[in-house]
């Protein structure tokens, strides 16, 4: 099948480097490029909802257990954080302070800081380096639906961080094993709270959008 170059407006809007994965996947067929790019946007948007539930519920489950364990809301002040994690807390405090000064006339709260800590920060608390300081004494209790070694949680959570970052930075995900990512996401939700699985599925459009995946005619 003959290929045609993408229209000028598309190359100007997206850049050649951003278009390349779609050009390669479609043999540079203009209609197919546009169709695949649009579907990539749609499936990325569909994943936003379940990822929202996963990130926020992980953050709150870990934060609640750490508050209980250390007996204070600002547990990061006394917890054995790694140096890079402590830097992330300092950055979150600065961001929270800027937002509060800009939008509100009140002191910065611990909840403000927690809201600024990234998905990656929380997942790092499940890493091997944090095993003795976090997982063993306290964080295993944040996953009542899971009974197993820490590493079997950390690895899929890390994959979700990388996947989430691709979506939030508008990167291609059409070539990823999306059904597998979807199943992993729900397994992790179930480790935190089985009721989250039911709630997340209520508004989950991912299966519907996956069923509409464009059929590509690849170079043979």
| 50-65 pLDDT per residue, tens | 999 999 999 999 999 9
129 contact partners, CB below 8 Å, separation of at least 6: 82
CA 138/CA 113 separation, integer angstroms: 21
- Cα end-to-end span (Å), the chain: 10
Domain boundaries, the chain: 8-26+43-210
Q: How many CA atoms lie within 13 A of 122 on its CB side?
A: 26
The model carries a pTM of: 0.90
| 32-41 pLDDT per residue, tens | 888 999 999 9
The CB density around residue 203, as the number of other CB atoms within 10 Å, is 11
């Amino acid at each position: 099948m003959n290929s045609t170059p993408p229209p000028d407006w598309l190359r100007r809007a997206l850049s050649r480097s951003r278009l390349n994965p779609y050009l390669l996947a479609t043999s540079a067929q203009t209609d197919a490029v546009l169709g695949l790019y649009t579907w990539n946007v749609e499936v990325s948007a569909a994943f936003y909802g379940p990822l929202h539930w996963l990130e926020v519920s992980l953050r709150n489950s870990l934060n609640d257990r750490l508050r209980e364990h250390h007996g204070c809301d600002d547990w990061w002040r006394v917890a054995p954080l790694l140096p890079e994690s402590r830097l992330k807390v300092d950055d979150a405090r600065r961001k929270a302070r800027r937002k509060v000064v800009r939008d509100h006339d009140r002191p910065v709260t611990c909840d403000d800081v927690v809201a600024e800590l990234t998905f990656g920060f929380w997942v790092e608390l499940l890493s091997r380096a944090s095993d003795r300081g976090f997982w063993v004494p306290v964080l295993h209790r944040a996953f009542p639906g899971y009974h197993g070694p820490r590493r079997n949680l950390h690895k899929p959570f890390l994959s979700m961080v990388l996947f989430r970052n691709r979506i939030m930075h508008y990167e291609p995900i059409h070539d990823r094993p999306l059904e597998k990512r979807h199943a992993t996401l729900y397994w992790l939700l179930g480790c935190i709270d089985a009721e989250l699985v039911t709630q997340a599925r209520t508004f989950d459009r991912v299966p519907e959008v996956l069923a509409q995946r464009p059929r590509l005619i690849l170079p043979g």
